[in-house]
Amino acid sequence: MKAQNLLIIAMLILLPGFCFGQSAEQKSISVTVYNQNLGVIKDLRSVDIPSGRSEIRITDVAQQIDPTSVHIKLDGEVLEQNYQYDLVSIDKILQKFVNQKIRLISESDEIVEGKLLSANGGQIVIEKPEGGLVMLPNVNKYRFSVDYLPKGLITQPTLVWEVNSNSSGKQDVELSYQTAGMNWHAEYVAVLNKDDTKLDLNAWVSVDNKSGTTYKNAKLKLVAGDINIIRNINMRSGTGGMYLMEKSSVSDQQFEEKSFFEYHIYNLQRPTTIANNETKQISLFETSDVPAKKKFFYGNSSSRWSWNQGGKRKVAVIIEFENKKDYGLGIPMPKGKIRVYKSDGESLEFVGEDLIDHTPRKEKVKLKIGDAFDIIADEVQTVNKQISTKVWEQEYEITFKNRKKEDVEIEVERNLGTNWEIIKSSLDYKKKDAFTITFNVPVKADSETKLTFKVRYAYL
């Protein structure tokens, strides 16, 4: 539809009979955002309410509100609650005007008017006053004019309560509800030092608001954790983007973290406006000189570091650090993407990224940021022999080739399954759990090291 149509509809809103929401002064608003497409809104308003039974209307609520979650608190009782969401649109107005008078104005100001018989998919059928029909297969060149706004259509989703107030005059009314269309996630930027032994780390949170309204000067809380939510099939999901934020000049942490139930809450220490259809980014923390370790990893298990690609197999590059207070961290790290950079002597260059889950304090963070270019592995199974009806033996040989100019050590992880026994190995191993063993394989610069081991399986 053309813009003129929208202008006419906007003018109709000013006609008598249009029902506005009750005047309510907002005193404060709190927004708690979960990283599961969920926001919880707590809205405190001053409302002029007469004593006895009356109606309260609040219009500027989230379009993706879950009306079953609404709670209102006032000096009195709530008799009935209604959620009205039949919003104004050209199609809905036309449907309301079927069998009523309507006027179409062309680009050359030619007027077509009469009784509207049908309006479907941009096609209009009108009965002329003098008789006969006007059928318009495409109304893009016309704008519409009607005499009033049909009853029942509103411009904003509206909450309506019938209440019985104990007193007359202004009183505080506390409104709370859940809404879809709100998400938050964390992003981290890590910068490695020259020899990969330390890193600087700064964290940002991105709050994505597609709930359908703006929250002005809100107290913002972010909840990190995996909360069990029963999804309403009518609640639409919001999506958020990931944005790269370089190191900022923020010196003080803007969020205060605290434990809450089995989760963690991050309280922003100042009010902020969360606009509709906006992604807001706020600094979470930053720290420097965090001890780090670069490792090389080779595995065959179903873990996320088993990137074997046929023939010459890959050896993963891992960066590890600990979330400890001694290192300027020691706060729960919400899940998110960590991008890793390093200087090539001239400028910072991107070297890889990984996702972390929610990480408690004192726990180790492991990042797979890529595959080593100059380290490869050749693996062959040299023996696969049946000893008896219930016993098998398998032998493996893995040749690690280091084409770097410095010595390396490669951590090797093998998932062996069940009922196994190592009967021969060229290097010492550690039993990680009932199914897995690990080796530390040293490889000299521009050299090779072979790891061989034999496994016996006994099936009962």
Number of domains in the chain: 3
Contact of 295 with 254, CB cutoff 8 Å: no
Two tokens at 225?
């954790």
Asked whether residue 11 is assigned to any structural domain, the reply reads yes
DSSP character for 13? Answer: T
Distance of CA 390 to the CA centre of its chain: 51
- 191 lies in some domain: no
Whether residues 158 and 41 share a domain: the answer is: yes
Say what the pLDDT of residue 137 is: 82
The CATH number assigned to the domain holding 418 equals 2.60.40.290
> What's the CA gap between 319 and 299, in Å, rounded?
16
What CATH number is attached to the domain comprising 109? 2.30.30
Location of structure tokens 């595959």: 371
pLDDT digits (tens, 9 = 90+) for 306-346: 444 445 789 999 999 999 988 888 888 888 899 999 999 89
Q: Are strands 198-209 and 278-299 parallel, antiparallel or unpaired?
A: antiparallel
Regarding whether 81 and 10 lie in a shared domain, the answer is yes
Dig out the tokens for 212 from the structure: 């359908």
Query: 126 with 137: CB under 8 angstroms?
Result: no
For the ranges 161-175, 239-253, 367-381, the lowest mean pLDDT is seen at 239-253
Are 449 and 411 in the same domain?
yes
On whether both 74 and 32 belong to a single domain, the answer is yes
Range of the domain at 440: 374-458
**Does any domain span residue 399?**
yes
Q: Is the pLDDT of residue 224 over 90?
A: no
Pairing assessment for the beta strands 65-73 and 76-84 based on DSSP bridges: unpaired
At residue 375 the predicted structure's pLDDT band, cuts being 50, 70 and 90, is very high
Residue 123 forms part of a structural domain: yes
Give the mean pLDDT of 58-74: 87
**pLDDT given at position 229:** 60
What would the pLDDT profile of 388-423 be if each residue is shown by its tens digit? 999 999 999 999 999 999 999 999 999 999 999 999
Over residues 240-263, mean pLDDT? 48
Same domain membership, residue 392 and residue 419: yes
**H helix intervals, 186-331:** none
CB 63 within 8 A of CB 71: no
- Residue 448 within a domain: yes
The CB-side HSE value for 312 (13 A sphere, CA atoms) comes to 8
53 and 124 co-located in one domain: no
Residue 28 maps to a domain: yes
- The CATH number assigned to the domain holding 35 equals 2.60.120
Residue 277 belongs to some domain of the structure: no
Read off the pLDDT band of 246 (50, 70, 90).
Answer: very low
Cα separation of 55 and 232, whole Å? 28
- Range with the lowest mean pLDDT among 129-138, 356-365, 400-409? 129-138
Neighbouring residues of 243: CB distance < 8 A, sequence distance ≥ 6: 187, 204, 206, 279, 281
- Tell me: do 442 and 423 sit in the same domain: yes
Residues 387 and 454 in one domain: yes
Query: Does the pLDDT value for residue 172 go beyond 70?
Result: yes
pLDDT (0 to 100) of residue 151: 76
Q: 123 with 137: CB under 8 angstroms? A: yes
Are 63 and 128 members of one domain?
no
**Looking at the structure, do residues 113 and 165 belong to the same domain, yes or no?**
no
Pairing mode of beta strands 111-120, 101-106: antiparallel
One domain, residues 391 and 428: yes
Residue 21: partners with Cβ closer than 8 Å, 6 or more residues away: 57, 58, 59, 60, 156, 158
Q: Are strands 336-343 and 182-192 parallel, antiparallel or unpaired?
A: parallel
- Range with the largest mean pLDDT of 128-137, 296-305, 379-388: 379-388
| Whole-number average pLDDT of the chain | 82
Determine if the pTM surpasses 0.85.
no
Co-location of 14 and 137 in the same domain = no
Tokens of 101: 């008078």
Residue 40 within any structural domain of the chain: yes
